[in-house]
Each structure stands twice: as C-alpha cells, then as structure tokens.
A and B are shown apart, each in its own frame.
Chain A
Amino acid sequence: MMGAHIPYVLTALLATATQATPPVQSTAPAAAAVGSAPQMAVPPVALPTPSGRDQDDVAFNIGKQLRCPVCQGMPIAESPATMAQDMMRLVREKLAAGQSPEEINQYFINRYGEWVMLKPEARGFNWLVWLLPPLSLGLCALWALSYVGRKRPGLAATADPSPVAPQPPDPYLAAIRREVER
C-alpha cells in the first residue's frame, strides 16, 4: 500500500526541488517529515533561474514568430536587417524584465497589428487562413475523384474486347487490290 505512494512522493519532492523558492524553506520541512536528515543550518543555494542559454532559446522562438517589417516574409530571428536585430534585442530585454512570450507578442501586435505575426492566431477572420487551404484541397480531391469516375466507363469501353462493327470497305483500297490481283 505504501509502495503505491512512493512515485507520488518522489514526484512531489522533485517538484519541490525545481520550484524557485528558497531551498531552506522548501527542503527543511520535507527533511523533518522524513525524519532522517539532521537539523542543521543549510547554506543558501542559488535559486534555479533560467540560464542565459534558455532565455536565448525562448527569445529565438519568439523571434521566429515575428515578421521583420523591413524584409520579405522573414522572421526577425533570422533576418540580418538592423531593424530586425533591434527588435530581437528588445525581445531579449523584455524577457529579462520578466515579460511572458504572450505579453511580448502582444506588444508587437499593438504596434504593427496582427500582420507582425507570421503565424496568425486562429480566431475571427484569421480562420480563413487556416480553413481555406484544406478546404481547397478537399474540393480539388472531390473534383479529381469525379473526373476519374467519369473517365473510367470510357476506359472500360476501350478495353472491352467485344467485336467492332465491320467498317464498309474503302473503294480506293478495293481498286488497288483488284489491280494487284489482275
């Protein structure tokens, strides 16, 4: 019975360890509950904060969704334009200031409109962008199926080995044959 709870306890402990709370406050009660850890002062440990590398990844992912306003359909994360680089710098600063990716996207949408998002959000009129391609594809498939369906009886008719009605003899060929046989 107790064994069934072990995975949950382990998960809870792991979750506690990954929270951005002071380790002294989070681990001490856990240790007291287990009853095996000595009651001693634990030196403060640096809080687990997102590394610079992680923030760069998040910034890059945000930048991949934002259109460079001075380029042709390029995201700011991949554009060499100075304007795009300035925008990327702003994204990083806003991330460092604690803003969420949604807040950063909204900042740019408030300045440039939905146009700035390379992948428009699926709502309102934007649904057309998402629905039209599969709809068109479906219609094309329907048309292709109906086209093939129409062609198939014709194909079957040509493959049918039934005897063809005898054609009337060509008078020109008949004349040549008569000349040859003479």
Chain B
Amino acid sequence: MRWRSALLGALVVVPLLVVLALGFGQDPHAVPSVLQGRAAPHFALQSLAGTTIDLDTLRGKPVVINFWATWCYPCKAEHDLLQDAAMHYGDKVQFLGVIYQDRETNVRQYMHGRPDHYPQLFDPGSRVAIDYGVAGVPESYLITAQGTIAYKHAGVLTPQLLHQYLDAWTAQGSQPTDAAKPLREGTAP
C-alpha cells in the first residue's frame, strides 16, 4: 500500500516539478520567435528625413532592424552601440531603426545633436511591429542579404553578437573599409 501511495505521489509531483523546472529556466517575458529562418516581412515606411524606405530595395546586403522607443531606457543604451555599428560596417550592412509607439516630436528631440548613421522609420499603427511579432522593445532582427531573418534578439544587443553575425556576412565580400572606431565595448548594461 505504501509503494502505491509513493507511486501516485510521484506521478503527480514529478510532472509538476518538470514543468516548473522548464518554466523557471526561461524568461517569463520572452516570446518565442517563429520568424527565424523565414522571409522578412516586407515593409515600406517613411523615415524621419521624409524618405520612404522599402525593404525590398535593400535586398543584396544584410539588414539589421531595431525596434525602439525614446521612452525605453535600454533602447537608449543600445542606440549608441547601433550607431557605432552602422558607422563601422558602412554600406556593407544596412541598419534601420523602427520607432515603436512613440511620438515623432520625442524622436526628433532625442535624435537632435546625436549621431545619425541610419534611418529611423515611423510605424503607424504598429503594423510592421505586429508583422515582425514584436512583443516589446528593444527587439532586433538580423536579416541576411537574401532577405531571410537569421536571428531575432529580444533585449539589448551586444557587440559580440553583432560581430558574430555581421562579420561573417560581410567577410564574403571585401572587409569593412570604414576606418571608423570599432564597436564600443561594454555599451550594453
């Protein structure tokens, strides 16, 4: 009788422990990405400068899309890293910032006097954010020259991660010729 109780208890407790162990091993806010390995959803958005950027016209070079907002503190920390990276890789990689639920005046005010090495795009109605499965900011998408989403990163990017992907992608052609300063280390908190 005792072994039967132990077996019943184990049948109830063990699955619960497994579920809890799996749950605690993951970030509860992390939303799994199903877009990795798929074609990047198309968009054509207007930039802060007033020009329309069409993703299809960028086919042939890697693209880094960063969803951000001025009200998001980690985004600001990441912004400097991305500006440095955009300068470092020059025209070998196209960086794009997509403003996520923010006001144009706030963005203009924030960008005023700051480095501006890549276009910042407005996303009315969060259409592009929804198309990319954004669940918060900052989130970044690394898209290959063929237009496939290779990696989605939720949270602040690190220089190591950018180097890991972009160096490999740009190494196939000539090395980045921009003699600007390298990616700022330790920017990410």
Contacts and interface: CB of A to CB of B under 8 A. Distances in A.
Binding site of A, secondary structure by majority: helix, strand, loop or mixed? helix
Nearest to B9: A143
B129 to A, nearest CB: 7
Interface string B31-43: 1111100000000
A136 B11 CA distance: 8
Contacts of B8: 139, 142-143, 146
A49 interface: no
A70 B72 CA distance: 14
B31 A86 contact: no
A121 to B, nearest CB: 15
Given A70-B136, A83-B101, A150-B1, A136 B12 contact: yes
Interface of A: 69-70, 82-83, 86-87, 89-90, 109-113, 115, 132, 136, 139-140, 142-143, 146-147, 150
Interface string B122-143: 0001110111111110000000
Contacts, number: 61
12 contacts: A83-B101, A86-B125, A87-B130, A90-B125, A111-B130, A113-B32, A113-B133, A115-B31, A132-B15, A143-B8, A146-B1, A146-B5
B4 interface: yes
Contact of A86 (B9, B35, B130): B130
A33 to B, nearest CB: 51
Contacts of B9: 143
Contacts of A142: 8
Contacts of A113: 31-34, 133
The CB with the most chain B CB atoms within 10 A, among A111, A112, A113, is that of: A111
B11 A90 contact: no
Given A90-B127, A112-B31, 18 more contacts: A69-B31, A82-B101, A83-B101, A86-B125, A86-B127, A109-B34, A111-B34, A111-B35, A111-B132, A112-B133, A113-B32, A139-B11, A143-B5, A143-B9, A143-B12, A146-B5, A146-B8, A147-B5
B126 A69 contact: no
